[in-house]
Chains A and B, each alone.
Chain A
Amino acid sequence: MLGFLIQRVLQAAAVMVIISVLVFVGVFAIGNPIDVLIAPDATQDIRLDTIRRYGFDQPLWKQYLNFVTSLVQGNFGRSFVFNMPVLDLILSRLPATLELTLAAVIGATIVGVPLGMYAGYRPHAITSRAIMGLSVIGFSVPTFWVGLLLIMGFAVELGWLPAGGRGDTVAVLGVQWSVLTLSGWSHLVLPALTLSLFRMALMIRMARAGMREAMLSDYVRFARAQGLSDTKVIFGHVLKNISIPLVTVFGLELAATLAFAVVTETIFSWPGLGKLIIDSIQSLDRPVMVAYLMLVAFLFIMINFAVDVAYAALDPRVRGRS
């Protein structure tokens, strides 16, 4: 088991390095980074000065080395637009996005998996067909449209929930969380619902497919031949088997939702990372873009790692290998 873990950690590190190169080259080498920093009518002197200050006159690989060295020291540079350390900027927005993402994914799983399992258990019942129908609609509708609909329905027409922004926050461990306040919840509901719909549809479909396959498998037949009731078969045998792919999906969903929050945050003016990245893409605030991508990559790798570990913990066949 230890060898397995070490191997994975090394792989993760290697991947981070590759990504850092790709991201750096992609963002800094294309286009002219100078144009954002100085006014178009700046004099040649100011131009040269800025170039030297930011190190743009050096060869690309040197720039990359500088980048990496300061990265290791925890310095992501300063935002071109906000003129504050990028790391601080990102960290201040992270909790909001985390809240939203966790609420959405956990909600999607808690609702989606049982529904999907039922649909797989009784595939021809009317309820199951309804569930599947809803799930198709769920992932056909682009996230942004769901958000619009919800705003129109609940905020404009019914006036029950606010149309945007984040609620009051409470500081826990030096970080601002809004889930601990009532107004925080009321602001969280719509964006979380928007974000979770797509994921929920996916969970339903995966759970259903897994369930159907499991119910047709040999070990279920053997278990039923032993006289186990369907409930016991499902909760004792099948659950463990399908939890393996489900956990993988959960992890990937967590990561993907983090990224997808971009759209939802824009619509609901949720002050998180997503909004930050959109703004910085539009204003070409490169240090922020780079830092965001690195952070997301890092999160992804961490999540993949966690999923791998969970996989090994759940499936005894994997532990024996490597």
Chain B
Amino acid sequence: MMAALEVRGLKTHFFTRNGVVKAVDGVDLRIEPGRVLGLVGESGSGKSVTGLSILGLIDPPGRIVEGSVKLDGQELVGLDRDAARRVRGRKIAMIFQDPMMTLNPVLRVDTQMSMALRAHESLSKDSIRERSLAALGRVGLPAPEQCLTAYPHQLSGGMRQRVAISIALLHSPSVIVCDEPTTALDVSIQGQILQEMQRLGAELGVALVWITHDLAVVSSLAHDIAVMYAGRIVEHGPTEDVLAHPRHHYTRGLLDSVPGEGTPGEKLAQIPGSIPALIDLPPGCAFKARCGRADGACETMPEIADLGQGRGARCVHPLEAA
């Protein structure tokens, strides 16, 4: 089966006055239609830039310097502006973190939806209204007509995000990249949106790339997971498997630092040190300064070792399989 989205060797660098920031430095991803891939990492790991690169929304001083992004087999890197624009929003869509900022506050919902529709199709006013109402209904909004004529600030946070999702679905894309869409919402609403997205993914066969720093979200939603650190994927595999038996030390560290299972009063585990700045990264494994197991072999950047059964980890001393 052809992958809905296939990314190979993606490198996105930012050429600033202080040096080159290698935000994404060799990322491979693959996602089948209808599946959810969780892209996990802390702030500064490059996950958002990855999402933007896939959509082709990187502005100067940033640039995709290398790599391929194939959407349903079509190569996206290197497309000219018009061709790229025609793909965006139609075959692949993106939603962002804070719906108050992503929806234009001075325009009504129906205006914004109509603009999104007419970007790719010419439709009569009636069809526009029909399609908009259908899209709003599909994301579980209780009163679609009222939503249509409302302004974003008149809706609650969860409703706003649903509107954003419905806009993303307007042209039935094959892939939707979701950049932390629930981080800005209340925990209870988070759960609802997650359920909604799962349903939509299964129903419509849309593949989702879910970018987040929250392991809990990923564990309940994603089929597969890819962990990012300092611009590279350091581990990937089926979610349950990775979270239960991580092979990379960073993943282990992340799981350990999630408070929860320990006894009260116990000190919270933390990964020592902090994320290195993406300018002037030292050679070798980016995690070696914080890794308990690092040694001389870690001075060269390891490739992703194939550990069988769809698992991979970028480490020369991977943790034991359980």
Direct contact of A and B (CB under 8 A): yes
Residues of A within 8 A of B (CB): 217-219, 221-229, 232, 236-237, 240-241, 244, 314-317, 320
CB-CB nearest in chain B for A240: B106
Whether A225 pairs with B94 at a CB distance below 8 angstroms is yes
Among B94, B120, B153, contact of A316 (Cβ-Cβ < 8 Å): B153
Given contacts A217-B101, A221-B96, A240-B106, contact A228 B151 (CB under 8 A): no
Whether A225 pairs with B104 at a CB distance below 8 angstroms is no
Among B96, B101, B115, contact of A232 (Cβ-Cβ < 8 Å): B115
A317 to B153, CA, bound (A): 7
Given contacts A240-B106, A244-B106, A320-B153, contact A226 B101 (CB under 8 A): no
- 13 A-B pairs besides A218-B96, A240-B107 with CB distance below 8 A are A221-B57, A225-B96, A226-B89, A226-B119, A227-B85, A227-B87, A227-B88, A227-B120, A229-B85, A229-B119, A237-B104, A237-B107, A240-B106
Q: Taking the complex as formed, is B128 at the interface, i.e. its CB lies under 8 A from any CB of chain A?
A: no
CB distance from A137 to the nearest CB of B (A): 27
- Across the interface, which residues of B come within 8 angstroms of A227, CB to CB? 85-90, 116, 119-120
Whether A225 pairs with B106 at a CB distance below 8 angstroms is no
Choose among B57, B102, B106 the residue with the greatest number of A CB atoms under 10 Å from its CB: B106
CB-CB nearest in chain B for A237: B104
CB-CB nearest in chain A for B106: A240
A114 to B114, CA, bound (A): 26
Given contacts A218-B98, A236-B115, contact A226 B103 (CB under 8 A): no
Among A225, A237, A241, A317, contact of B88 (Cβ-Cβ < 8 Å): A225
Whether A314 pairs with B88 at a CB distance below 8 angstroms is no
Q: Taking the complex as formed, is B167 at the interface, i.e. its CB lies under 8 A from any CB of chain A?
A: yes
Among B55, B105, B107, contact of A225 (Cβ-Cβ < 8 Å): B55
A-B pairs with beta carbons under 8 Å apart, 8 shown = A219-B105, A222-B164, A225-B55, A225-B96, A226-B88, A226-B93, A226-B167, A237-B115
Q: Which of B240-268 contact A (CB under 8 A)?
A: none
A228 to B170, CA, bound (A): 13
Choose among B101, B119, B168 the residue with the greatest number of A CB atoms under 10 Å from its CB: B119
Whether A218 pairs with B101 at a CB distance below 8 angstroms is yes
A240 to B154, CA, bound (A): 18
- Across the interface, which residues of B come within 8 angstroms of A217, CB to CB? 101
Choose among B95, B102, B103 the residue with the greatest number of A CB atoms under 10 Å from its CB: B102
- Across the interface, which residues of B come within 8 angstroms of A317, CB to CB? 105-106, 151, 153
- Across the interface, which residues of B come within 8 angstroms of A218, CB to CB? 96, 98, 101-102
Q: Which of B113-132 contact A (CB under 8 A)?
A: 115-116, 119-120
Whether A223 pairs with B104 at a CB distance below 8 angstroms is yes
- Across the interface, which residues of A come within 8 angstroms of B164, CB to CB? 222
Q: How many residues of B contact A (CB 8 A)?
A: 30
A240 to B90, CA, bound (A): 25
Given contacts A223-B115, A227-B120, A228-B116, contact A315 B88 (CB under 8 A): no
CB distance from A249 to the nearest CB of B (A): 17
- Across the interface, which residues of B come within 8 angstroms of A225, CB to CB? 55, 57, 88-89, 93-94, 96
- Across the interface, which residues of B come within 8 angstroms of A219, CB to CB? 101-105
- Across the interface, which residues of B come within 8 angstroms of A229, CB to CB? 85, 119
Q: Which of B143-171 contact A (CB under 8 A)?
A: 151, 153-154, 164, 167-168
Whether A228 pairs with B115 at a CB distance below 8 angstroms is yes
CB-CB nearest in chain B for A124: B60
A85 to B105, CA, bound (A): 52
- Across the interface, which residues of A come within 8 angstroms of B95, CB to CB? 222
- Across the interface, which residues of B come within 8 angstroms of A240, CB to CB? 104, 106-107
CB-CB nearest in chain A for B105: A317
CB distance from A223 to the nearest CB of B (A): 7
- Across the interface, which residues of B come within 8 angstroms of A228, CB to CB? 85, 89, 115-116, 119
CB distance from B288 to the nearest CB of A (A): 35
A224 to B103, CA, bound (A): 12
CB-CB nearest in chain A for B170: A226
Whether A241 pairs with B96 at a CB distance below 8 angstroms is no
Whether B106 pairs with A221 at a CB distance below 8 angstroms is no
- Across the interface, which residues of B come within 8 angstroms of A316, CB to CB? 105-106, 151, 153
A316 to B112, CA, bound (A): 15
CB distance from B114 to the nearest CB of A (A): 10
CB distance from A225 to the nearest CB of B (A): 4
CB distance from B194 to the nearest CB of A (A): 20
Whether B102 pairs with A222 at a CB distance below 8 angstroms is yes
CB distance from A313 to the nearest CB of B (A): 11
CB distance from B154 to the nearest CB of A (A): 8
A225 to B57, CA, bound (A): 7
CB distance from A219 to the nearest CB of B (A): 4
- Across the interface, which residues of A come within 8 angstroms of B153, CB to CB? 316-317, 320
- Across the interface, which residues of A come within 8 angstroms of B107, CB to CB? 236-237, 240
CB distance from A83 to the nearest CB of B (A): 54
Given contacts A227-B119, A240-B106, A320-B153, contact A222 B96 (CB under 8 A): yes
CB distance from A177 to the nearest CB of B (A): 37
A320 to B154, CA, bound (A): 9
CB-CB nearest in chain B for A315: B106
Choose among A221, A244, A314 the residue with the greatest number of B CB atoms under 10 Å from its CB: A221
Choose among A225, A229, A241, A317 the residue with the greatest number of B CB atoms under 10 Å from its CB: A225
